[in-house]
Amino acid sequence: MVLHLLFIIFFFPYFPLSKSHPLDPLTPSELTIIQQTIKTSNLFSPTPLTFHYIGLADIDKHVLLSWLSNTSNSPPPRRAFVIARSGHQTHELHVDISTKSIISNTIHTGSSFPLLSLEEQIAASNLPFNYTPFMNSIKKRGLKSSEVVCASSTVGWFGEVKKSKRLVKILCFATGDTVNLYARPLEGISIVVDLDLMEILDYTDRFVVPVPVARGTDYRSKKQKRSFGPRGKPVTVVQPEGKGFSIDGHSISWANWKFHLSYDVRAGAVISLASVQEHDNELHRLVLYKGFMSELFVPYQDPAKEWYFRTFFDAGEYGFGLLAASLQPLTDCPVNAEFLDGYYATQNGSLLMIKNVFCVFERYSGDSAWRHTEHEIPGKIITEVRPEISLVARMVAAVGNYDYVIDWEFKTSGSIKFMVTLTGVLEMKGTSYTHVKQVEKDIDLHGSLLAKNTIGVNHDHFLTYYLDLDIDGYNNSFVKAKMKTIKITDGSSPRKSYWTLVKEIAETEADARIKLEAEPAEYLVVNTNKKTKIGNDVGYRFINHGAMAISLLSDDDYPQIRAGYTKKQLWVTAYNMSEKWAAGLYADQSRGDDTINIWSQRNRVIKNKDIVVWYTLGFHHTPYQEDYPLMPSLSGGFELRPSNFFETNPLIKTMPFNNTHWPKRTNNP
């Protein structure tokens, strides 16, 4: 919701410095070339043309990896994939940037639609202010138009058979003495807008409940009354030897890791070619060919007319990258961070920059990467500790009321940790209730009464990652290592039981649809073509760090049909360059016919093949009063941890820091 406003080599030298990379995001000059090439092609004249997605076209993996093995050859051509609207039709275009030519132009014939542009959402949100019935509704609630702001909401799909129009619903709020507009909804009003005609198609005002008061809802520090609550003392990041990472364009090197960081208007951060070495002077081995946030599904749990449609696909409908926030130095990111900017094309193709769309920094929070104290050797006490210093690549997407902090954390142990932090403000519902005693037992609030006239509505967050893993090579396999209890019945041991691992390699996609914690097991991606010196398959395994929820909606509910993959947290599919978006290329008003669970029904062979893992983090959110008027951060994630990828723990070679670099401890009276 937007406010008014081979021959393939997997040991490869990293891309040479001071050159652009084939996976770099589209530059400002390239974005200009793309929009000029399309606009001057006469394909759409005189019909107005609007751009809804412009991004780097996918490069054939074989071509890119082959080139990386010999960068003296010409790099793959720079091409763009564009989704545009003209004459009430959606066009998919491929543009060759170097030749300034359109390679293909295909009309999308499905029932769903592309990303909403910011400009059309703003225009739609302005319409009610020139609409007499709405102005009357404002007066009825004792408000002035200057105190009201409106925002657009996608409408979803609820079983309509005919191809729909491009519609949004408009949600409106009061501001007054607060900027926390979500705490002051204008409940009871429904407004439907046709985006192509840019006019109001339907309007109802079913009921009036008090608009929650502004007092106490403004979260800005200057609006808080003295005195402030207790807090800790400021903490400063010190790096006495300077930064330990380097950024060349979008290529990043740190410790034993190298990877590429790119911006996409839909996905936000895209991590590519993440490769790691075991020891110095060894070649980097590929782990992750490409990874990004594929979709974010947020269904609210209120079936009322004004709420039932709020089942958002934030990446596919609004654009996770489009809504990326400019990161604030010293608050969003520490003092030792470096920043990268992002560029995208607006609805008319003009250029906009998101300053500081990413930050990259080394993190040390006082934790140890490993430690051991040995007491058992007579006359000795031996202690060895190594600090846990990691590298973080961060972005924040401010999607309506929620802010999502997305961290990709690389560790010298060889792990990649994926963390999501939710914060911001709740989407709240107006009510006549002012105390829980007024709520009869058979009344379902679909949430919690947080303040007078204010309900925080129950909802979910399902964040699905696309992970094209190439563990030390092109062909991988998915392994379920089940923990099986073995009973001892022959008297061979005083023990009665133990557990052991029973490993199964998934043959097809049907074997790799996983509901985590359904049974005790570990899940790995391995390369059976590569072995350690003692014969184990090299691989990586998944470790969950909370956020295990799956969807509780019924299978026949329309939002669930559109997001059928959220019934399981982990899917594995055969690599297909066109299968990138968990809820489909076109998410707005989608019907669930182009999703992970649909692709998986093909039941393709995935054993010793190029495979993609889809990992979904899930949060059920029942609001509490501490979430009001703003929400403290809530985090969850998962980790890719090496499992027989290295011969030994690479941390054994990590040298301790020289303690003379650190400030001396003082005893203050």
Catalytic residues: 314, 402
Calpha distance 396→394 (Å, rounded): 7
Which neighbouring-strand residues pair with 524?
479, 541
Calpha distance 32→487 (Å, rounded): 69
Calpha distance 414→538 (Å, rounded): 13
Calpha distance 175→184 (Å, rounded): 7
**3-state class of 565 per DSSP?**
helix
Single out the residue of 292, 525, 319 nearest to residue 420, CA to CA: 292
* 203 neighbors 150 (Cβ within 8 angstroms): no
> Count of CB atoms within 10 A of residue 226's CB?
4
The HSE-up count of residue 36 (CA atoms within 13 Å, CB side) is 11
Calpha distance 561→584 (Å, rounded): 12
**Residue 175 structure tokens:** 């501001």
Calpha distance 301→458 (Å, rounded): 5
Q: Where are the alpha helices (H) located in 18-79, listed in sequence order?
A: 28-39, 61-68
**3-state class of 140 per DSSP?**
helix
Single out the residue of 285, 391, 288, 279 nearest to residue 645, CA to CA: 285
- Which helix (H) or strand (E) covers residue 125, if one does? helix 118-126
* 489 neighbors 443 (Cβ within 8 angstroms): no
**3-state class of 664 per DSSP?**
coil
**Residue 610 structure tokens:** 């190029």
Q: Can you say how many angstroms the Cα of residue 117 is from the centroid of all Cα atoms in its chain?
A: 19
Dump the DSSP string for 237-251: ---TT--SEEEETTE
Single out the residue of 647, 565, 567, 560 nearest to residue 614, CA to CA: 565
* 309 neighbors 169 (Cβ within 8 angstroms): yes
Which neighbouring-strand residues pair with 56?
80
* 358 neighbors 388 (Cβ within 8 angstroms): no
Calpha distance 400→124 (Å, rounded): 16
Which neighbouring-strand residues pair with 399?
402
416-424 and 631-642 as β-strands: parallel, antiparallel, unpaired? antiparallel
Single out the residue of 332, 330, 324, 334 nearest to residue 355, CA to CA: 324
